[in-house]
A and B are shown apart, each in its own frame.
Chain A
Amino acid sequence: MKIFKDRNKELEMDIDLYLNSLQKGSNTFLEGVKSYLRDEVEQFNDRVKQITDEEREADEHLVNIKYVLFKYNLIPDLSADLLELMDSMDDINDAAKEVLLNLQVIKPNIDPSLIDDFGHIAKKSNKAVETLIKGVRLYLTEFRTVEDYITKTNLFESEVDTLLHNVKLKIFGGQIDCTFSEKLLLERFANELADLSDIAEKVASKLSVYKFKRSI
């Protein structure tokens, strides 16, 4: 007779798969932005489809995580933290998908002089997310080493802020020949790219608190 059905294993797997989906989503976001900036329409559309699937996949895992965690009352002392953490991370995928969908619909015209800047913002935002996900994985296993990843996430976020500021200076500095409304659209696009790192930073700050609760 099995005293416990192995719900713990199910939950552990779901968390792992959820984080994988987030990681994949973030990478797809970067590749999608690159494709858009290179004007590779077919690849870009593929990425949009891919990120939509990955976001759906992540949502399914998140629902499972919530169900197993509450239904079987697993990790009662940490479940609230874990759920909050997982829920906050879902915003990353939502934001990433939103960027690609907006690009597909609005199709902002990126001035060639800004392509590298936008590319860098997307890259650093992706780095922030990637580092955060590594940190979350460590929170689940070796929580004492989480701080390094929190610091790195914050570092990437501040780099993104600097890049964002520079690109805004370029957009509104008169070097680009476009209307004010087009400039606002570019600024919005740049902000959306940077949003990912902002969300990563917010989750990282939560993680730095939750880390203490992991300690007995």
Chain B
Amino acid sequence: MDFLVVGLFLSAGLFMGWSLGANDAANIFGTAVGTRMVSFRKAALICSVFVIIGAVSGGSGTSHTLGKLGAINALAGAFAVSASAAFTVMIMTKRGLPVSTSQAIVGAIIGWNVFAGLQTDTSVVIDIIQTWIFTPILAAIFAIIIYWIVKYTIEHTKIHVVKMDKYIRWGLIIAGAFGSYSLGANNIANVMGVFIKVSPFNDIVIGSVTFTGIQQLFLLGGIAIAVGVFTYSKKVMNTVGKSLFKISPINAFVVVLATAFVLFVFSSEGLYNFLTSRNLPALPLVPVSQSQAVVGAIMGIALIKGGRNIDLSKIGNISIGWVLTPLISMVFSYVALSILQNVFLQTVVG
């Protein structure tokens, strides 16, 4: 297929990647950069490197789940799905509605299933929805546990406040790197997952190392995220760090770490295999909303501090997002597929 056409069709995924980098990196390093605990350049570099590592090495689990939801088998169809999800995210963000790329992409894939006349696997849908609901709850639980550990450590050790500042900076960098890795591993499915079946890349073998076509696709997605981080996230980071969530650097560390753990448990194939091989219950590998995990973690900290000043409308907003985002995205996807097939005469279902 023509390089330009492939590039054009992949552009929707790359745009999703760019917007993910611009927005979600701020959730990881926002407070650290906003409070000038970590410089933007350092944060952007760490974030980009670890997002790419996470995407290339750990992105297959969540992508596989999206594949089970809908195996999109035409490049133009994947473009329509990805573009519809991106458009949904853009429209909802502009209108100030709660939105998640994970929820948008799921809705768009279901839209493709409907358009293609294929049955959507309800067990996968139920798994995914359960995961969405569980994400903020699990983030709150992780945040509470980490908060306790950090609080105990601070209160029962004689670490000088200045030394503590140094440890927190390192903590924010390490948690940020872990968060970036988890974001890459978990959310690359939203960026490139729909293109897996129609990947234009062939495997590259260098000695004993094989760089698969899917890994190349994920690398491209990872780079798009990194470009988003470098080109646009500074503004968002400063907004997050200074105005939206006015939390201390220590609490930011707790939030980032808790969020990273949530994204990790929903994307780690190693953990999944480890648990299932021992007949232990494992969490499904599903792309989840990082923003909702962040809100959950902050609520967890607020709860442990006595539960005052909790904005319950945030919980309501999340629930609206669960329903509204996939629905809108599904409709957009259906319309986009119709236009591509009937107006531009493209094959959207293989």
A142: chain B residues at CB < 8 Å are 158
Give which listed residue, A4, A8, A77, A215, contacts B162 with CB less than 8 A.
Answer: A8
Q: Knowing A141-B160, A216-B150, A216-B250 are in contact, say whether A74-B155 is a contact too (CB < 8 A).
A: no
Q: Knowing A8-B166, A76-B35 are in contact, say whether A216-B161 is a contact too (CB < 8 A).
A: no
Interface size class of B (residues with CB under 8 A): 20 to 34
Asked if B103 CB lies within 8 Å of chain A CBs, one says: no
Bound complex: CA of A141 vs CA of B157, how far in Å? 8
- How does the 8 Å CB contact mask read for A201-216 relative to B, with 1 for contact and 0 for none? 0000000000000111
> Among the interface residues B150, B159, B162, which one has the most CB atoms of the partner chain A within 10 A?
B162
Contact B36 A140 (CB under 8 A): no
- How does the 8 Å CB contact mask read for A178-216 relative to B, with 1 for contact and 0 for none? 000000000000000000000000000000000000111
Contact A140 B42 (CB under 8 A): no
B161: chain A residues at CB < 8 Å are 75, 78, 82, 139-141, 143, 214
Contact B248 A140 (CB under 8 A): no
The secondary structure that dominates the A interface is loop
Asked if A155 CB lies within 8 Å of chain B CBs, one says: no
Q: List which A73-116 residues lie within 8 A (CB) of chain B.
A: 73-78, 82
Q: Which residue of B lies closest to A78 (CB)?
A: B161
Contact B248 A216 (CB under 8 A): yes
Contact B251 A216 (CB under 8 A): yes
Contact A140 B160 (CB under 8 A): yes
Q: Knowing A8-B163, A216-B150 are in contact, say whether A77-B155 is a contact too (CB < 8 A).
A: no
Q: Which residue of A lies closest to B301 (CB)?
A: A216
Asked if B339 CB lies within 8 Å of chain A CBs, one says: no
How far, in Å, is A81 (CB) from chain B's closest CB?
10
A-B pairs under 8 A by CB, number: 54
Q: Knowing A12-B160, A142-B158, A216-B250 are in contact, say whether A75-B151 is a contact too (CB < 8 A).
A: no
> Among the interface residues B147, B159, B166, which one has the most CB atoms of the partner chain A within 10 A?
B166
Asked if B127 CB lies within 8 Å of chain A CBs, one says: no
Bound complex: CA of A139 vs CA of B159, how far in Å? 11
Bound complex: CA of A9 vs CA of B151, how far in Å? 23
Bound complex: CA of A133 vs CA of B67, how far in Å? 65
Asked if A56 CB lies within 8 Å of chain B CBs, one says: no
Q: Which residue of B lies closest to A216 (CB)?
A: B250
B37: chain A residues at CB < 8 Å are 73, 76
Bound complex: CA of A184 vs CA of B87, how far in Å? 82
B248: chain A residues at CB < 8 Å are 77, 216
Q: List which B32-86 residues lie within 8 A (CB) of chain A.
A: 35-37, 42
Contact A140 B251 (CB under 8 A): no
Q: Which residue of B lies closest to A213 (CB)?
A: B248
Q: Which residue of A lies closest to B154 (CB)?
A: A216
Asked if B221 CB lies within 8 Å of chain A CBs, one says: no
Bound complex: CA of A142 vs CA of B248, how far in Å? 19
Q: List which A121-166 residues lie within 8 A (CB) of chain B.
A: 139-144
- How does the 8 Å CB contact mask read for A58-82 relative to B, with 1 for contact and 0 for none? 0000000000000001111110001
Asked if A11 CB lies within 8 Å of chain B CBs, one says: yes
Bound complex: CA of A215 vs CA of B306, how far in Å? 14
Contact B166 A4 (CB under 8 A): yes
Contact A12 B249 (CB under 8 A): no
Asked if B203 CB lies within 8 Å of chain A CBs, one says: no
Interface, chain A (partner B; CB < 8 A): 3-4, 6, 8-9, 11-12, 15, 73-78, 82, 139-144, 214-216
